[in-house]
Chains A and B, each alone.
Chain A
């Protein structure tokens, strides 16, 4: 456990010392929230739209988009350790492999916490509150952290597999494609294009977004929360397993 904390501390310190990593992860989701909530307000007039405030609807996007930056951050940090030889240095210590992954991801959770609290603060300041109340706000933070863990693990996996930062940057746009092909801008039942609705229905990102929305707009919705947490946790488990396997290959000490 001590090893995990040591590496988590290092991960947090190095992330906090890179404004270029923190500022976009906070600013871009808020920028997109601002653009979407003003530009797509008329969507709230569609019959069946769940709220009359697009800001309330779009707030969920900020949390998921912020978590996507976790993938980039985790991947870039891991790739940098491989390229600089720092991973080899760690390999020569008694460090266990699993501690390396957990330490790195704990650092990502720290960045995720800063993001979640910022987006929540903005949501409370400019929106109409959280329908599920204070408890709902806590669950929003927990869901946000679970998604950060999931996407961060994918970023770590890509970095460990490819061994370079270029691959991580190359994969980053795919995460955004996954976000855009979800129920990001409209509820799934209001998407009229059939293939888009099918993709959004199979896309786990839709259920992550809907988990947030249920808490912000409706109140407590067990099914939406179960699907949101289930998809996030499922992706996290699969990605962490893949990252651990890639680390075994990468950190091939005897």
Chain B
């Protein structure tokens, strides 16, 4: 029996007439950790979550959640986990309170215990006022919060959140982030969070696994992953659009080109941020007028780019900025 909260070994899921959605992933999440599983749409994040939550049997490999094998001991896994999957799985014709009462009852709580747990969780996710309204009239953020409350009904040790903030407004996003942080820090809940938002992984996760086309291409703390890339990039937008090719030519002396604004030229500085002064001097000596010059520290997108040759931000739908 594994003593990790979540552990996988060579986990594979292959669909008929399709590619391997998950292709031999190995990961280990320690108890109490917030693990961010970052990747673009179709990378294999949700398939992994479905296997770890016992909703989809793996084609090969093994996985243990809360020390239990997901294939051989599904009921024990389910009793230890809570999950809010990609779509808020709610019945539009029931009220928030009716959802909670049904979920508590299905987990064996009755009468007073069910009422108390319902009230506590509705209070925690800020849905007391809306508890007796039908869910069909809830906003996206309210549905997500109710979804989270339902996942917490039986006090799970491990929580799976599959893209919990996709499509949410900035305020709802922040509220959900706070709740996830509170669950991990105050209650020691292990959180396995999938996301396509770099900022979300950066803010919430103790460690990040980057998945692409079914493979984990990088893993570590957000800081360590960014340090691995090391060098910052500089982005220069010339004042005159016709100077852009010339600007690119000058910048190419300082490092490899990276994706940036279409109005400007960007390079990763081969010599680190100490080269910035040289860049400014070179641009000045070529009489190039600059509208904007920015030095960017490495981001998780840079990590993704370095590992896959593609930009995650270009593939994910745009995330609303957090409030």
A14 at the interface (CB under 8 A from B): yes
Are B94 and A13 in touch, CB under 8 angstroms?
A: yes
Q: Report A1-28 CB contacts with B as 1/0, cut-off 8 Å.
A: 0110010001001100110000000000
Minimum C-beta distance from A9 to chain B (A)? 8
C-alpha gap A81/B87 in the complex (Å): 12
B75 at the interface (CB under 8 A from A): yes
B81 / chain A contacts, CB cutoff of 8 Å: 92
Number of B residues with CB within 8 Å of any CB on chain A: 35
B282 at the interface (CB under 8 A from A): no
Q: Name the prevailing secondary structure of the A interface residues.
A: helix
**Sample of 28 A–B contacts (CB below 8 Å):** A6-B105, A6-B106, A10-B91, A10-B94, A13-B98, A14-B93, A18-B93, A85-B85, A85-B86, A85-B87, A86-B89, A86-B91, A88-B85, A88-B89, A89-B85, A92-B53, A92-B78, A93-B78, A93-B106, A93-B107, A94-B75, A94-B79, A94-B106, A94-B108, A253-B74, A254-B57, A254-B71, A254-B74
Query: Closest A-chain residue to B86, C-beta based?
Result: A85
Binding site for B on A (CB under 8 A): 2-3, 6, 10, 13-14, 17-18, 81, 84-95, 252-254
B82 / chain A contacts, CB cutoff of 8 Å: 92
Chain B residues 234-257 with CB under 8 Å of chain A are none
Chain B residues 54-78 with CB under 8 Å of chain A are 54-57, 70-72, 74-75, 77-78
B98 / chain A contacts, CB cutoff of 8 Å: 10, 13
B269 at the interface (CB under 8 A from A): no
11 new A-B contacts at CB < 8 Å, known A13-B94, A93-B107:
A6-B105, A10-B94, A17-B134, A84-B91, A86-B90, A86-B91, A89-B150, A92-B82, A94-B108, A252-B56, A253-B54
B194 at the interface (CB under 8 A from A): no
Minimum C-beta distance from A7 to chain B (A)? 8
A86 / chain B contacts, CB cutoff of 8 Å: 89-91
Minimum C-beta distance from B86 to chain A (A)? 8
C-alpha gap A93/B98 in the complex (Å): 16
A14 / chain B contacts, CB cutoff of 8 Å: 91, 93-94
C-alpha gap A92/B52 in the complex (Å): 12
B103 at the interface (CB under 8 A from A): yes
Contact of A10 among B79, B85, B102, B108 (CB under 8 A): B102
Minimum C-beta distance from B109 to chain A (A)? 11
Minimum C-beta distance from B240 to chain A (A)? 53
B107 / chain A contacts, CB cutoff of 8 Å: 93-94
C-alpha gap A94/B89 in the complex (Å): 17
B189 at the interface (CB under 8 A from A): no
Contact of A253 among B78, B89, B106 (CB under 8 A): B78
C-alpha gap A93/B81 in the complex (Å): 10
C-alpha gap A81/B258 in the complex (Å): 45
Are A17 and B57 in touch, CB under 8 angstroms?
A: no
Minimum C-beta distance from B144 to chain A (A)? 13
Are A90 and B90 in touch, CB under 8 angstroms?
A: no
B83 / chain A contacts, CB cutoff of 8 Å: 92
Minimum C-beta distance from A18 to chain B (A)? 6
Are B90 and A84 in touch, CB under 8 angstroms?
A: yes
Query: Closest B-chain residue to A95, C-beta based?
Result: B106
B105 / chain A contacts, CB cutoff of 8 Å: 2, 6
C-alpha gap A230/B240 in the complex (Å): 86
Are A254 and B54 in touch, CB under 8 angstroms?
A: yes
Query: Closest B-chain residue to A5, C-beta based?
Result: B105
Are B106 and A3 in touch, CB under 8 angstroms?
A: yes
A92 / chain B contacts, CB cutoff of 8 Å: 53-55, 78, 81-83
Are A17 and B90 in touch, CB under 8 angstroms?
A: no
**Given A94-B79, A254-B74, is A84 in contact with B93 using a C-beta cutoff of 8 Å?**
no
Are A252 and B57 in touch, CB under 8 angstroms?
A: yes
C-alpha gap A86/B75 in the complex (Å): 18
C-alpha gap A146/B77 in the complex (Å): 39
C-alpha gap A252/B15 in the complex (Å): 14
B106 / chain A contacts, CB cutoff of 8 Å: 3, 6, 90, 93-95
C-alpha gap A91/B81 in the complex (Å): 12
A90 / chain B contacts, CB cutoff of 8 Å: 106
C-alpha gap A94/B83 in the complex (Å): 14
A6 / chain B contacts, CB cutoff of 8 Å: 102, 105-106
Contact of A13 among B71, B93, B150 (CB under 8 A): B93
B93 / chain A contacts, CB cutoff of 8 Å: 13-14, 17-18
B103 / chain A contacts, CB cutoff of 8 Å: 89, 93
Minimum C-beta distance from B140 to chain A (A)? 14
C-alpha gap A49/B74 in the complex (Å): 61
C-alpha gap A84/B92 in the complex (Å): 10
Name the 9 nearest CB pairs between A and B, nearest first. A85-B89, A254-B74, A14-B93, A93-B106, A89-B89, A17-B93, A254-B54, A85-B87, A86-B89
B88 / chain A contacts, CB cutoff of 8 Å: 85
Minimum C-beta distance from B60 to chain A (A)? 14
B75 / chain A contacts, CB cutoff of 8 Å: 94
Contact of A88 among B55, B70, B134 (CB under 8 A): B55
